[in-house]
Amino acid sequence: MRRLLLVLFVALACASTASAYPWPFKPFDKQHPIRGFFGDPRTVYENGILAGAFDGPSFISFHQGVDIAAPNGTPIYPVENGTVHYLGAATLNLVTNHDVTFQYFHIIPVAGEGQHAIAKHTILGYVQPPFGHVHITEIDGIRAVNPLQRGHLTPFRDKTTPVVRDILVRNQSGEVQTPVGLCGRVELDVDAYDRQPMPVPGTYKGLPVAPALVQWSMTRVGGKVVVPWKTVADFRQTLPPNSQFGKFYAKGTYENSPRFGHEQYAGMPGRYLFLLAGNYDTTSVPNGNYVITVRVADVRGNHSSGSERISVLNAKSGVCPGSLPAPPTTMPPPAEPEGGSSSTVEP
Return the ∠ at Cα 36 (arms to 31 and 37), rounded to 5°: 85
In this structure, is residue 35 part of a structural domain? yes
CATH classification of the domain holding 188 = 2.60.40.10
Query: Which pLDDT score is estimated for 316?
Result: 80
Query: Do 311 and 169 reside in the same domain of the chain?
Result: yes
Question: Bridge partners of 43?
Answer: 60
CATH classification of the domain holding 121 = 2.70.70.10
Domain end among 145, 175, 205: 145
Query: Do 214 and 93 reside in the same domain of the chain?
Result: no
Query: Do 169 and 34 reside in the same domain of the chain?
Result: no
Domain containing residue 236: 163-319
Domain end among 85, 117, 145: 145
CA 169 to chain CA centroid, nearest Å: 20
Percent residues over pLDDT 90 in the chain: 85
Query: Which pLDDT score is estimated for 16?
Result: 37
Question: Average pLDDT in the 287-293 region?
Answer: 98
In this structure, is residue 18 part of a structural domain? no
Query: Do 204 and 299 reside in the same domain of the chain?
Result: yes
Query: Do 54 and 119 reside in the same domain of the chain?
Result: yes
**Where does the chain have alpha helices with state H?**
2-16
Query: Do 189 and 108 reside in the same domain of the chain?
Result: no
Residue 1 has pLDDT above 70, yes or no: no
Query: Which pLDDT score is estimated for 335?
Result: 57
Query: Do 171 and 314 reside in the same domain of the chain?
Result: yes
Question: Average pLDDT in the 171-190 region?
Answer: 95
Lowest mean pLDDT, pick from 141-150, 160-169, 189-198, 309-318: 309-318
Query: Do 275 and 136 reside in the same domain of the chain?
Result: no
In this structure, is residue 331 part of a structural domain? no
Return the ∠ at Cα 213 (arms to 278 and 206), rounded to 5°: 105
Query: Do 130 and 185 reside in the same domain of the chain?
Result: no
Query: Which pLDDT score is estimated for 245?
Result: 98
Query: Do 172 and 304 reside in the same domain of the chain?
Result: yes
Residue 337 has pLDDT above 60, yes or no: no
β-sheet with 125-127: strand ranges across: 75-76, 125-127, 107-109
Confidence band, pLDDT 50/70/90 cuts, at residue 333: low
Neighbours of 174 (CB within 10 A): 14
Domain end among 82, 115, 145: 145
Query: Do 167 and 309 reside in the same domain of the chain?
Result: yes
